[in-house]
Amino acid sequence: MKNVLKLGILGAGGFTGQELIRILSRHSGADLQYLTSSEYAGKKLREVFPALATPTVAALGFSPHPQTLADVPALDAIFLATPDEVSLKWAPLFIERGIRVIDIAGAFRLKNSEDFKSYYGLDHNAPAALAEAVYGMPETDRAAIKNAKLIANPGCYPTAALLPLYVYRELIDFTKPVIVDAKSGTSGAGGRKEKDGLGYSTVYENFRAYKTAKHQHAPEIAQQLSLFAGQKVALRFTPYLLPMYRGILSTAYISPKPGVTDADFNRLATGVNEPFLRFRESVDQIELKSVQHTNFCDFSHHFDAASGVVEIVAAIDNLMKGAAGQAVQNMNLMFGFEETTGVY
């Protein structure tokens, strides 16, 4: 384990970048040395985000995005809070230089490059990096994360949906479809720059589904569910926009295996020993206020014997467990820190 890591953030001015700055500026093993932003290049952190300007990083300035590797200082690891095409370009170059990468974009989450092209609209031109990328969900991939050079940080919707489904995986009949609907605050859907129809001004006093036919997180959820199940899983995923800033509440509807009871679900849920998974006794106890600004995932289930359907509900903060918090959790594992350092 290195005592102090030299770290950088590409895309440090966005919502996730800001969360990373907040966490890492207080992390005992982190030395933030390199922040990039096209909008804030040349400005000091204390000028742009005074609330984040702790003594250790207040004087740190934003650099323009790099043009060549020569623009990037010697680092132990770098976080890519960037558009997918930027991650595609830079992740392989950083790896080649010996910088370990935590990619918070979607560039390396889907192992099928045709799915990536279909859902992200880009040709995947980094097959070698894709082959060695590790899906960075600590609760499911902890051992592989420790030795990874490139982490594909999970999407926010997949994190909320997959974590409780992983807990209950041995009880689920995966021969039947899994239905997931999830509601997100606007920071998850639109990013820092408002997109038409996704910004708060549009969502305020409103509620609707979006990208219903083809959301980029659907194949990611299906991919990981199929790994849990050991077989292809049919998924129906619908995302919704909440008239609020941060948080995701996800509801999955599954069929239990024959003979499985509510007691079996309770046994697995109460036996969870994960620092950031918290089981609640009732789905009615799952709410966003309990997880906002934290790295926790709260979850519960309702076993409806009359319909034969089990409802599994989870809540996360999309900017923390769904992005920056999970990214730092991954960094801790990669470099031998206590997994909860800085995020607990």
- Residue numbers annotated as active site: 156
- Name residue 311's beta-bridge partners: 253, 302
Question: Given CA atoms 109, 319, 265, 309 in this order, what sign does their dihedral have?
Answer: negative
Taking the C-alpha atoms of residue 105 and residue 127, their distance in angstroms, rounded to an integer, is: 16
Contact by Cβ (8 Å): 221, 159? no
The residue with tokens 């199929």 is: 226
Q: In terms of Cα–Cα distance, which of 269, 328, 341, 337 is closest to 299?
A: 269
Give Cβ neighbours of residue 66 (< 8 Å, ≥ 6 apart): 10, 36, 72, 90
Taking the C-alpha atoms of residue 285 and residue 288, their distance in angstroms, rounded to an integer, is: 10
Question: Given CA atoms 96, 19, 185, 202 in this order, what sign does their dihedral have?
Answer: negative
Contact by Cβ (8 Å): 5, 77? yes
Taking the C-alpha atoms of residue 287 and residue 319, their distance in angstroms, rounded to an integer, is: 16
Taking the C-alpha atoms of residue 69 and residue 2, their distance in angstroms, rounded to an integer, is: 23
DSSP per-residue letters across 62-122: EEPPPSSGGGSPP-SEEEE-S-HHHHHHHHHHHHHHT-EEEE-SSTTT-S-HHHHHHHHSS
Q: What angle is formed at CA 327 by the lines to CA 325 and CA 332, rounded to 5 degrees?
A: 95
Q: What angle is formed at CA 116 by the lines to CA 115 and CA 118, rounded to 5 degrees?
A: 65
End-to-end CA separation in angstroms for the chain = 20
Contact by Cβ (8 Å): 332, 170? no
